[in-house]
Amino acid sequence: MPNQQKPCKHLEKVCNKLNEYEQYRKFIIYKDKVLAMGNDSLEKTIAIALSLCFICAILVSFSAVALKPLQIYNKDLDMKKNILDVAGLLEEGMDIDKAFADKIEAKVVDLETGDYVENIDANAYDQRKAAKDPAQSVAIPKDKDIAHIRVKAKLAKVFLVKEGGALKSVILPVSGYGLWSTLYGFLSLDADGQTVQSINFYDQSETPGLGGEVVNPNWRALWKGKKVYAVTDQPAMEKGLIAEADVGEPALSLIKGTVDTSKPGSEYQVDGLAGATLTSTGVTNLIRYWMSTEGFSKYLNKVRANQGAKS
């Protein structure tokens, strides 16, 4: 049939074109020679093995290139899902892309000044990639690197949740070293820049059942309503994992055991992860680092000032 003959004609044209090249003709001659050899021939075994490796390499390379756009899209979709989750906006079966576009606004912040950077496409900016670029990052002094990340990007990507034109919450990227890995996550704060809505770690390799409980919804729920900055001097707590905090400094931390909500200072405490003291300390340190003047403190001060000006 005509439809069945077309592929054969195309293949014939390709073969005729290849026959114009001397190297291809030599390959055909060698192929016929190898196939004519006995199955116990060492040369035939090696030639066929190399041919299979070559074909597999081509298939793998083609798959990697062909699937890369899909991988990038899925990675971006997963990030949007995590941001919606920490913002308390994630719903079963929702259109992630549409919900993100409708409810979340990305902005780039200069950590040195706390101001927005308007000449950069916030949606395209990759903070983790920028942290690896010497031109876009800065080394953290050892005495200030309590999160053990060594370098940070000069600019940070934050996310704003607005409702009726008014700022509802701010979502900040946080990271720091736990026991086995660097934990990457988001901290969601009310528009006051002080009250925690939620926390979510989207990338971590801590021990499952121990430090890996940072992704447990029950533990994450303990953060809601906690306060970040001390409104009075906070002494080091008996079961705390950090030193004291002066007024205006980050005071939020994990403790050993369960928080006693009847005691003063409990608004700055979250239950530690059972059997995972080092991961708990890591989470405390990353919160205190990113909420300090090294991180988002200057930015949050301006958010609060702006909110006060509007009220």
Residue spans of the chain under pLDDT 70: 1-8, 10-11, 18, 237-239, 241, 243, 308-311
- Amino acid (1-letter code) at residue 190: D
Structure-block tokens of residue 51: 């041919």
Q: What is the C-alpha separation between 273 and 201, in angstroms, rounded? A: 14
Using CA atoms, how far residue 193 sits from 78, 90, 110, 170, 279, in Å, is: 26, 22, 17, 7, 25
CA-wise closest residue to 108 among 98, 96, 118 = 118
Q: What is the C-alpha separation between 300 and 306, in angstroms, rounded? A: 10
Which positions ≥6 away from 276 have C-beta within 8 Å? 179, 206, 207, 210, 211, 213
Cβ atoms of 168 and 306 within 8 Å: the answer is no
Tens-digit pLDDT profile for residues 40-77: 888 888 888 888 898 888 888 877 777 777 778 888 99
Q: CA quadruple 115, 119, 125, 130: dihedral positive or negative?
A: negative
HSE, side-chain direction, 13 A CA sphere, residue 85: 17
HSE, side-chain direction, 13 A CA sphere, residue 8: 5
Q: 3-class DSSP state for residue 23? A: helix
CA-wise closest residue to 113 among 306, 300, 298 = 298
**For residue 81, which phi and psi values (nearest 5 degrees)?**
-65, -45
Any idea what the Cα angle at residue 275 is, between residues 219 and 236, rounded to 5°?
75
Any idea what the Cα angle at residue 215 is, between residues 209 and 220, rounded to 5°?
115
Predicted confidence at residue 294, as pLDDT, reads 95
Predicted confidence at residue 1, as pLDDT, reads 45
**For residue 77, which phi and psi values (nearest 5 degrees)?**
-65, -40
Tens-digit pLDDT profile for residues 175-229: 999 999 999 999 999 999 999 999 999 999 999 999 999 999 999 999 999 999 9
Predicted confidence at residue 89, as pLDDT, reads 94
Using CA atoms, how far residue 69 sits from 57, 129, 130, 300, in Å, is: 20, 18, 21, 36
Which positions ≥6 away from 27 have C-beta within 8 Å? none
Q: 3-class DSSP state for residue 126? A: coil
Structure-block tokens of residue 133: 């670029």
- Amino acid (1-letter code) at residue 308: G
Alpha-helix runs per DSSP H in 87-161 = 96-103, 127-130
Tell me whether strands 182-190 and 196-203 are parallel, antiparallel or unpaired: antiparallel
Q: What is the C-alpha separation between 95 and 147, in angstroms, rounded? A: 35
